[in-house]
Amino acid sequence: MWRAWDQREERYVAAKVLRQSDAPTLLRFVREQAVRVEHPHVLTPLGWAGDDDRVLIAMPLVRGGSVATLVGDHGPLPTVWVATLLDQLLDALARIHGEGLVHRDVKPANLLLDATGSGLPRLRLADFGIVTGVDDPRLTHVHHAVGTIGYAAPETLRVGWDPDPRADLYAAGLSAAEMLLAQRPGADAAGSLADLLVRQGVDSGLVTVVLDLAAAEPGERYADAAAAREALRATGLVASPQTWDAGEVEVFDQVPELPAGWGAAGPEEGQTGPTSRSGPTDLGPVAQEATSSTEGGGAGAGSRLGMALLGLGLLLVLAAGLLALLG
């Protein structure tokens, strides 16, 4: 992952750089860049461009880490946090599903957060690399699991499964449970999930919503994300800007400071080329100029890419692929 300066929009963005020779990764890229959904809680690509054997995909820079890092930092989140974040996730899923799409990889690491401090949190559903349409032909090989084990609905592991939005609801339920418990419930924990939540002292209304989302059979879940959101809001636990009280939890800005030669307004005068050709080091950023006149889409279509890339320190690249921890 890279942090990039968009010369046309004059802002920093996040960027993935892929090699065209990596077919599986490139397929994820093709799926992800094809998603064009405008929604306050959905994070989709801004555009892309290609140069030689590399492809770059740019997307908004989200600075507050992810729900996974928030839980890792704070442990079990307060009920109001979980209800509010789940409400935003269900809002995002309602929009995605309304476009005929199934995300297939909903999990805390793909729920990014704006750096709102102690203010009302703002969630962004990210990583559409394995998104599919409900009417798309199945491309998955027999016995090849899709999604992340532990969040994937049981039916998705069966041969011949057709993409169904209710699989995303299952993953949303387990993600909410993880926020409440600060532990991953696990693929075989659904039967004991109720006991875990009750022992944690979770509000009974929220317990009901989470369990109905995470029901083992699709027919036992909510009909859709809108119905789940309605049930969640009926608990009275979802906060508004007027009623929000963060307590001791805060979402900090987790993006490292800019290296020398770069400022809030972009690269400083004279900062136009590489400062090193040895590639990213552990903590030493590397600047590169990425330009392309190849065919592209969105912000990179048919023109120079116009982005100065700041290389990541390898210690800042997390296995979860968080967009926010860029340097």
On whether both 268 and 153 belong to a single domain, the answer is no
On whether both 79 and 213 belong to a single domain, the answer is yes
On whether both 78 and 173 belong to a single domain, the answer is yes
On whether both 81 and 209 belong to a single domain, the answer is yes
- Tell whether 56 is covered by a domain: yes
On whether both 123 and 46 belong to a single domain, the answer is no
pLDDT per residue as tens, the chain (327 positions):
788 888 888 888 888 777 766 666 666 666 666 677 889 999 988 877 777 777 777 889 999 999 999 999 999 999 999 999 999 999 999 999 999 999 999 999 999 999 999 999 999 999 888 888 877 655 544 444 567 888 999 998 887 778 899 999 999 999 999 999 999 876 445 458 999 999 999 999 999 999 999 999 999 999 999 999 999 999 999 999 999 999 999 999 998 888 888 888 888 876 554 443 333 322 222 233 332 222 334 444 333 344 444 433 222 222 223 233 333
* Pairwise CA distance, residues 164 & 145, whole Å: 15
Q: Mind spelling out the 3-state secondary structure of 293-322?
A: CCCCEECCCCCCCCEEEECCCHHHCCCCCC
* Pairwise CA distance, residues 251 & 116, whole Å: 6
Structural domain count, the chain: 2
On whether both 83 and 52 belong to a single domain, the answer is no
- Tell whether 172 is covered by a domain: yes
On whether both 189 and 261 belong to a single domain, the answer is no
The DSSP code for 150 is T
- Tell whether 191 is covered by a domain: yes
- Tell whether 240 is covered by a domain: no
Q: What DSSP letter does each residue of 17-55 carry, written as one string?
A: EEETT-HHHHHHHHHHHH-----TTB----EEEEETTEE
**Which residue in the list 105, 127, 168, 224 is annotated as catalytic?**
105
Residue 136: give its domain's CATH number: 1.10.510.10
Q: Contact at 8 Å (CB) between 317 and 60?
A: no
- What is the reported pLDDT for 270? 62
On whether both 190 and 262 belong to a single domain, the answer is no
Structural domain that includes position 294: 2-61+255-316
Residues 6+ apart with CB under 8 A from 257: none
On whether both 263 and 298 belong to a single domain, the answer is yes
Please state the separation of Cα 326 from the chain's center in Å: 15
Which segments within the chain are labelled E, that is strand?
Answer: 2-6, 11-19, 47-51, 54-60, 101-102, 111-113, 123-125, 132-133, 262-263, 266-267, 287-290, 297-298, 307-310
- Tell whether 246 is covered by a domain: no
Residue 10: give its domain's CATH number: 3.30.200.20
On whether both 177 and 221 belong to a single domain, the answer is yes
On whether both 104 and 148 belong to a single domain, the answer is yes
Neighbours of 268 (CB within 10 A): 11
On whether both 200 and 137 belong to a single domain, the answer is yes
- Tell whether 243 is covered by a domain: no
- Tell whether 143 is covered by a domain: yes
Active-site residue flag, 105: yes
- Tell whether 194 is covered by a domain: yes
Residues 6+ apart with CB under 8 A from 199: none
